[in-house]
Amino acid sequence: MKARTTQIVGWGKYVPERRLTNQDLEGRVDTSDEWIRSRTGIRERRIVSQEETSATMAIRAGASALRVAGIGPRRIDLIIVATITPDHPFPSTACLVQAALGAGRAAAFDVGAACTGFVYALGVANDMIRSGTYDNALVIATETLSRIVDPMDRNTCVLFGDGAGAVVLQATRGDGGILSVSMGSDGSGAELLIQPAGGSRFPATRETVEEGLHYMRMNGKAIFRFATHVMPRATREVVRKAGFRVEDVALVIPHQANVRIIEAAMKRLHLPPDRAYLNLERYGNMSAASIPVALCEAIEEGRLKQGDLVVLVGFGAGLTWGSVALSWTAPWPLEKVSWGHRIWRRLGFRWAYWRLLLRRLSYRILRRR
């Protein structure tokens, strides 16, 4: 019998409506559209509304991924959410997603590996599926970076945006799917990109708020150097582990931090620049959510053909890095779903929502007793 493999069978994304353009930023800090475009490749990014959070975006991206996969929330047995901007320090954002989607059988936890979070979460889910512990996993990355970026710091506020992306992973015994995973870290660079306060080292106080210690701090130049070295290294490693050569890669879906980082990495890999998928012009850096949102858009633009060797590669705070090599198996465009099936699924989600409200109500009543 063939070994268990992990396939991506569903994908989804959610980005907030509100756009923050370079021109908008010109009116806020000492910067220019020309500087941002030429140094980063970014034109605009999406910013959450007052009501939106990392969990609300994750729920929408996750629900879309389930729709594409054509499976109901009760078949999901594992939910992993990658985020550095959870709704709360605890409970995990994954648990909020689990309840809202009505995934009553799922274990749920968060992974914190900054921009590499989605790749780390895929690696963990892949191993849990291959080992036979779980069959259907929902892996989501979601970020509301606008809530931890100092709006007056031109070094960071021009770079980051909000959004969420998700995939459904399924155990099969077919060929293809996730072929290899590579992950790494170097904590000696922890201070290069950090949110200093809000954890146990500097809990929130009036002073930490006044000193702006809840905003992220970044040494952009050092991160830039690190990224241009680590992205090609992680790509080479995962391709070699999968038994291929770099020139076999049909598409690289890199972390969308800076077009110059991606171009430098592609040059070092001796791959043409058009083999990297880019959407950072429209969204900026959405940290962990960048790769799954880019993956979704690459699929929907028809950039992935069945049998293609695809590499997802990320880097970020920690420092962390990681890559996944996969052989693309899902068909595109999708087959049409019947009306009856669609209504049935919608009812399923509605039922999950009402169940969540009823449970919350019952916990409140019990607390009062």
CB of 286 to ligand ACO, least distance (A): 9
Residue 189 makes contact with ligand ACO by CB under 6 A: no
Cβ-based nearer residue to ligand ACO, 30 or 210: 30
What residues between 247 and 266 interact with ligand ACO by CB under 6 A? 257-258
Under 8 Å between Cβ of 120 and 323: no
Whether residue 59 contacts residue 97, with contact meaning beta carbons closer than 8 Å, is answered with yes
Instruction: Return the residue of 7, 180, 285, 323 that touches ligand ACO, per CB under 6 A.
Output: 285
Q: Which residue is nearest to ligand ACO (CB)?
A: 316
Buried b / exposed e over 279-312, threshold 16 CB at 10 Å, is bbebbbbbbbbbbbbbbbbbbeeebbeeebbbbb
For residue 341, the minimal CB distance to ligand ACO (Å) is 39
Give the Å distances, CA to CA, from 258 to 3, 36, 86, 280: 38, 10, 24, 7
Q: Work out whether 287 is an interface residue with ligand ACO (CB under 6 A).
A: yes
Q: Which of 7, 22, 40, 327 binds ligand ACO (CB under 6 A)?
A: 40
Is the Cβ of residue 221 or residue 368 nearer to ligand ACO in the bound state? 221
Supply the residues annotated as catalytic: 115, 255, 285
C-alpha triplet 179, 183, 189: angle, nearest 5°: 160
Q: Which residue in the block uniquely carries the two structure tokens 């699929």?
A: 299
Write the CB contacts of 362 (distance below 8 Å, at least 6 apart in sequence).
none
- The site map against ligand ACO for 213-232 (x = CB under 6 A) is -----x-xx-xx--x-----
> Minimum distance between the CB of residue 322 and ligand ACO, rounded to whole angstroms?
12
* Interface pick for ligand ACO out of 193, 230, 234, 251 (rule CB under 6 A): 193
Residue 30 or 335: which CB sits closer to ligand ACO? 30
Q: Is residue 316 near ligand ACO by the rule CB under 6 A? A: yes
Q: How far is the CB of 355 from ligand ACO (least distance, A)?
A: 35
C-alpha–C-alpha distance, residues 327 and 330, integer Å: 10
Provide the phi-psi class of 313: left if phi over 0, else alpha when psi is between -120 and 50, else beta: beta
| 20 near ligand ACO, judged by CB under 6 A | no
Of 92 and 285, which CB lies nearer to ligand ACO in the complex structure? 285
Q: Total residues at the site for ligand ACO (CB under 6 A)?
A: 22
CB 342 within 8 A of CB 89: no
Q: Specify the pairing of strand 309-316 against strand 136-144.
A: unpaired
- By the rule CB under 6 A, 154 interacts with ligand ACO: yes
Binding mask 96-135 for ligand ACO (x = CB under 6 A): ------------------xx--------------------
Question: Which CB atom, from 288 or from 310, has the smaller least distance to ligand ACO?
Answer: 288
Q: How far apart are CA 153 and CA 7, in angstroms?
A: 41
Q: Is 323 in the site for ligand ACO (CB under 6 A)?
A: no
Dihedral sign for Cα 67, 69, 71, 75, please: negative
Query: Residues 6 or more apart from 39 whose CB is under 8 A from it?
Result: 258, 260
Contact between 27 and ligand ACO by CB under 6 A: the answer reads: no
Tokens of 14: 């959610």
Residues that bind ligand ACO (CB under 6 A): 31, 35, 39-40, 114-115, 154-155, 158, 193, 218, 220-221, 223-224, 227, 257-258, 285, 287, 316-317
